[in-house]
Structure 1
Amino acid sequence: MYEHLVVFRFNEQYEPSREQDLVQALLALKKQIPGIVELTAGVNVTEEQENVHGYTLGLRVTFENQEALRAYGPHPAHQKFVSLLEGILENVVVVDYPI
């Protein structure tokens, strides 16, 4: 299995009222993309403010295998989510590792 971790930092064009829409769009990917074992997403609520660095949304996806992870990026459902970030994404951090 493979773990895929993502944190998102948004620019000044981002409207915080969209947070739940983005979270719901991420959660929907589990049913839309084959090979996902588990998927969680949510708004950052850490109390460790010195570590936030403006990252407000997080995603964790567990894939069956490396092939499923590789197929995820170009999948049309994932690309549809990516299109929601156009104009509002400042930075993203991605970490993938086998588990």
Structure 2
Amino acid sequence: MFEHIVVFKFNENYTPEKGNLLVETLLAFKGRIPGIVDLTAGLNVTEESGSIHKEGYQLGLRVTFEDKEALRQYGPHPVHQHYVSLLDGIIDNVIVIDYPIAK
């Protein structure tokens, strides 16, 4: 299995309403994109990084895939590409980490 972790930092065009839409869209991936074993996503509620809407990362995603091939197929999948289109004009930075899950 492979873990895919993503954190998103948004610019001044981001709104809480847009954040809620992004989370709902991410949660709908499971069952629509083959190879997803588990998925969680949510808005950052930490109090440790100051203003999470201006300085920190506002959204986190964790996806567990069956295998590396499922992870590879995820990026170009139309459901994922629709999500990517929702980021247009609001994204400032993204951090992605992919790693095999040790058994």
TM-score by length of 2: 0.90
- Aligned residue number for residue 23 of structure 2: 23
Q: For the aligned residues, what is the CA RMSD?
A: 1.1
Q: Which runs of 4+ in 1 moved over 2 A?
A: none
Q: Does 1:88 align with 2:98?
A: no
The number of aligned residues is: 98
SS in 2 for 1:90: strand
- Aligned residue number for residue 73 of structure 2: 71
User: What's the CA shift for 1:30?
Assistant: 0.8
Query: Structure 2: which 5+ residue stretches go unaligned?
Result: none
In percent, how many aligned pairs have the same letter? 66
SS in 2 for 1:55: coil
Distance 1:90 1:77 in 2: 22
Q: Does 1:44 align with 2:55?
A: no
Query: Which amino acid letter does the alignment assign opposite residue 3 of structure 2?
Result: E
TM-score by length of 1: 0.94
